[in-house]
Structure 1
């Protein structure tokens, strides 16, 4: 997948325990990225989905991960911490997790994050679990879920590398669609294949009679 222009992207998960969104985002953090990842969660996100662990993330990416982690009580605190972190040039990426649909996470809040990310040139990701796809200023909005892993080449009874279904349902400057995605550990990048274009909008209903 080509390098994106840094901005705010939202990723929605079908369930709190589906780790596909985490893998999908981390697969796009290239080995060239310098500086730590700043990761902030509200309390419900940590309680329902677990907290990131640097050792586990390093195993997933196949390289060490420098992680700065913060847990806060409220969604408003997540948004404030992300905005402040996006102004810190020592960081490489900013990741936030907000549970559900809190009032603080409105169009204005996402617009502030998108503009701050673009001004700083630092990519920002916002995980949305147990959430609706309400109005947002995020430049890309994804639904990501796990797919059955292919078998291991050396043991057909063992699961192989994780793969994900990634649906870009709203974007600025890119066409929506669905892909089968995976992490290429050899090259440290996200690979997107089997593109399925998004269906055309349904024609308007016509009155009969």
Structure 2
């Protein structure tokens, strides 16, 4: 019995080591990256550490969701590029207005946009970009992606230690991919104090649909220029108000 127990312990330790190498778990003693101020999102990841050197999948169904996802990605890139480096943003046609990236904390000169007309060629370009150790991150806006193709992309980031973001707009299938996470981002009206004109900070409904060895969840997040803060849903706000009146 003891022999079987020792074997199970060794297998579990080996599994943990493999997942850490793949970017699905933080390395032993690894602390959250100080650049990534993700607020409540940290608790969803194994060890509270956002998986770098891994691929993250984002799903959009509508143009408004696609635009929201691009804004959310821009915030993540702005955090990752704080200490320098460059990002490659790949797609089949221009969809991002580079000067607008400054609103999300990204210096436009840090992002190189490459448009590839055919998705078949885009997939090859994405794999090559993820293999480039000179980059900090790569964004690939590609509609369809097979599991074996996603495995090649994962192998690429394991070698290069680049962080990849795969944005799929209106994909035909949501089959499993070799990605550390799967996300869905949607727009939310910006909460403003009563009577105040103008626009507030960007707010998104962020759904972490899948995260390996983590805890999926949904949040309404506001980006205030420094990090993410959770915005209370209306029902939570009403409950807090009622409780405060009750005990006043």
The question of a shared fold, defined as TM-score above 0.5 by the shorter chain, is answered with: yes
What is the rounded CA distance, in whole Å, between the counterparts of 2:106 and 2:113 in structure 1?
20
Tell me, in whole angstroms, the C-alpha distance in 1 between the residues paired with 2:232 and 2:127. 35
Judged with a 3 Å threshold, the aligned counterparts in structure 2 of structure 1 residues 21 and 112 are, in CA distance, closer, same or farther, namely same
- Tell me the residue number matched to 1:203: none
> Which of 160, 163, 166 in structure 2 is aligned with 1:120?
160
In structure 2, the CA distance between the partners of 1:116 and 1:69, relative to structure 1 (3 Å rule), is same
Determine if the alignment matches structure 1 residue 58 to structure 2 residue 99.
no
The one-character-per-residue Cα deviations of 1:77-134 (angstroms, maximum 9, x if unpaired) are 22211211122222121000013x3xxx200111111221133211100111111322
- The match for 2:56 is 9
Distance 1:27 1:62 in 2: 7
Aligned residues of 2:91 and 2:141 also touching (Cα < 8 A): yes
**Displacement after TM superposition at 1:51 (Å):** 2.0
Answer yes or no: is the 8 Å Cα contact 2:91–2:115 preserved in 1: yes
Query: Which structure 1 segments of 5+ residues have no match?
Result: 196-209
In the alignment, the residues of structure 2 paired with residue 168 and residue 17 of structure 1 have an alpha-carbon distance, to the nearest angstrom, of 18
Q: TM-score, normalised by structure 2?
A: 0.66
Give aligned pairs, total: 182
**Normalized against structure 1, the TM-score is what?**
0.77
Contact 1:83/1:116 (<8 A) preserved: yes
Determine which of 114, 120, 126 is the counterpart of 1:70: 114
The answer (yes or no) to whether the contact 2:208–2:218 under 8 Å persists in 1 is: yes
RMSD over aligned Cα atoms: 2.4
Residues 14-59 of structure 1: CA deviation (Å, up to 9, x unaligned): 31243111121122221434222101102xxx3xxx5223211122
Which digits, 9 at most, give the CA deviation of each residue in 1:135-190, with x for residues without a partner?
A: 21111001110011112x596232311111111111112111111123231x3x34
Q: Select the residue among 173, 178, 182 that pairs with 1:141.
A: 182
Moved over 3 A (4+): 62-65, 189-195
* Structure 2 residues without counterparts, runs of 5 or longer: 1-37, 43-48, 234-248
Considering fraction of residues, name the structure with more helix: 2
Q: Which has the higher strand share?
A: 1
Corresponding residue of 2:202 = 162
User: Which residue of 1 is the match for residue 72 of structure 2?
Assistant: 24
Change (3 A) 1:115 1:190: farther
Asked which structure has the greater CA Rg, the reply is 2
